Chains A and B, each alone.
Chain A
Amino acid sequence: VQLVESGGGLVQPGKSLKLSCSASGFTFSSYGMHWIRQAPGKGLDWVAYISSSSGTVYADAVKGRFTISRDNAKNTLYLQLNSLKSEDTAIYYCARGRTGYFDYWGQGVMVTVSS
């Protein structure tokens, strides 16, 4: 199992960014997937989930601003981040879902929101 995130960077407040997570080593379409973030020097916060059938759930802090999606043909998970705030600055990890918990994680991608 391998998960590789990309798309991070420095972005101004109010702007948008789209993260990608490329999956390999397992049947991507059969698994729910998550995004989890970690602000610098802080703990872990779950952000969003998409089921194998593309049902979605979001944390209150990002609901209405972030959109999780998937392309099973490309074995890729996405997170569209809109209306970014400074408090969204974090490392964003994608993780595979497994009957509730997260078993495999990517290496993470840094998103910095600053003017």
Chain B
Amino acid sequence: DIQMTQSPPSLSASLGDKVTITCQASQNINKYIAWYQQKPGKAPRLLIRYTSTLESGTPSRFSGSGSGRDYSFSISNVESEDIASYYCLQYVNLPWTFGGGTKLELK
């Protein structure tokens, strides 16, 4: 199984900050990574697929990059509505595996 190591587990930011979350896969995942946002008590929402393709409705302040084993997800100009947990997902190989999650809080 491919392990996805996501860091940091938690992150504190001020409004307007830029934050970055990373996911390292245990093997090359050929850019088949997606990023999800989950607000408390809600289902996850797909933000980005295939490393950097924004889903319809995803604000342009969200971005993704990476290749091989190493990937990152960034939010520029953090807004209050971005306070949530974020998860990466690899979908190159079965079984599908998620990173452990990053909880973004306001400083």
Contacting pair B44 A44 (CB below 8 A): yes
Chain B interfacial positions (CB closer than 8 Å to A): 32, 34, 36, 38, 42-46, 49, 55, 87, 89, 91-92, 94-101
Which listed residue (A34, A44, A100, A103) contacts B87, Cβ 8 A?
A44
Chain A binding site: helix, strand, loop or mixed by DSSP?
A: strand
User: Given that A101-B34, A102-B46, A105-B43 are known contacts, is A46 also in contact with B96, CB under 8 Å in the complex?
Assistant: yes
Chain A residues with CB under 8 A of B87: 43-44
List 7 extra interface pairs beyond A45-B98, A93-B43, A105-B45, CB under 8 A.
Answer: A43-B99, A44-B89, A100-B32, A101-B91, A102-B34, A105-B44, A107-B43
CA distance A60 to B95 in the complex (A): 9
CA distance A115 to B102 in the complex (A): 33
Q: Which single residue of chain B is at the shortest CB-CB distance from A102?
A: B46
CB of A110 to closest CB in B, whole Å: 11
CA distance A59 to B46 in the complex (A): 22
Q: Which single residue of chain B is at the shortest CB-CB distance from A46?
A: B96
19 A–B contacts from the bound complex (CB under 8 Å): A43-B87, A43-B99, A43-B100, A44-B36, A44-B89, A46-B98, A49-B96, A93-B43, A93-B44, A100-B32, A101-B32, A102-B44, A103-B46, A103-B49, A103-B55, A104-B46, A105-B43, A107-B43, A108-B43
